[in-house]
């Protein structure tokens, strides 16, 4: 056994159970920044759908949603790095489900970008399906957060509530949510769930005491 390996094992053995490694803090920061950007970007991009009759506006909205989808992948990977050591299976399922949402969102955005496509109506139909997958992702993420045994209770509960509300809203089963942006009422619980996750990611990524 090399000296370097011995030092690594020694450091791992002496590190407190709840300590956060440098790579995990880096992943939390990366995911937190990506989550903050996509949450802020989602609002004006969704608002563009109301005036997407013009091809240029429709293309801009489509490009915006593609950017959001790319950021979703970054967030999914960051969460996976944070949770895989303590809850590998649910963390991997969360990564796959978030990646699935990103793929579906990109495909939906193609309706806006492709000339002669179904436009906003087609996008909204595909997006509704994508939001169901995102709701499932939040519930799977809840399982990963709970299994990791290192996440504050309010974060776990908030993510679970957001995932449940998202599924109910996206499938049209109750929860008459305020339609802040026309046609995007189902997005509201998702945004709230993302804010809860963002608070935790910021706490992990920028807490120097977690070393």
Average pLDDT, the chain: 79
Domain that holds residue 81: 21-203
74 within domain boundaries: yes
Number of folded domains that form the chain: 1
Average the pLDDT over each of 65-69, 85-89, 97-101, 190-194 and give the range with the smallest value: 190-194
Asked if residue 162 lies in contact with residue 196, where contact means CB atoms within 8 angstroms, the answer is: yes
8 in a domain, yes or no? Answer: no
Tell me, what's the pLDDT at 190? 72
Q: Measured on CA atoms in the order 180, 72, 134, 82, is the torsion positive or negative? A: negative
40, with CB counted inside 10 A (0-12, 13-18, 19+), is exposed
pLDDT in tens, 35-82: 999 888 988 888 888 887 788 888 899 999 999 999 999 999 999 999
The whole-angstrom separation of Cα 69 and Cα 75 is: 10
What secondary structure letter does DSSP report for 207?
-
Tell me how far apart the alpha carbons of residues 59 and 112 are, in angstroms, rounded to a whole number: 6
Contact residues for 57 (Cβ-Cβ < 8 A; gap 6+): 48, 51
Residue 176, domain member (yes or no): yes
- pLDDT the model gives residue 200: 87
- pLDDT tens per residue, range 5-42: 444 444 444 444 445 688 888 989 999 999 999 888 98
């Amino acid at each position: 056994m090399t000296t370097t390996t011995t030092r690594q094992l020694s450091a791992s053995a002496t590190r407190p159970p709840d300590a956060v490694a440098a790579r995990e803090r880096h992943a939390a920061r990366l995911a937190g920044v990506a989550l903050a950007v996509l949450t802020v970007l989602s609002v004006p991009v969704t608002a563009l759908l109301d005036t997407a009759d013009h091809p240029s506006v429709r293309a801009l909205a489509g490009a915006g949603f593609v950017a959001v989808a790319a950021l979703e992948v970054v967030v999914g990977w960051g969460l996976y790095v944070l949770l895989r050591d303590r809850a590998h299976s649910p963390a991997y399922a969360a990564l796959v489900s978030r990646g699935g949402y990103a793929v579906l969102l990109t495909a939906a955005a193609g309706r806006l970008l492709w000339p002669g496509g179904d436009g906003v109506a087609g996008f909204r139909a595909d997006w509704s399906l994508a939001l169901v997958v995102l709701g499932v992702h939040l519930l799977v993420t809840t399982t990963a957060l709970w299994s990791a045994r290192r996440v504050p209770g309010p974060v776990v509960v908030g993510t679970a509530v957001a995932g449940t509300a998202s599924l109910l809203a996206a499938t049209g089963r109750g929860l008459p949510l305020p339609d802040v942006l026309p046609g995007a009422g189902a997005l509201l619980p998702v945004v709230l769930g993302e804010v809860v996750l963002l608070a935790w990611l910021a706490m992990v990524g920028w807490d120097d005491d977690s070393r």
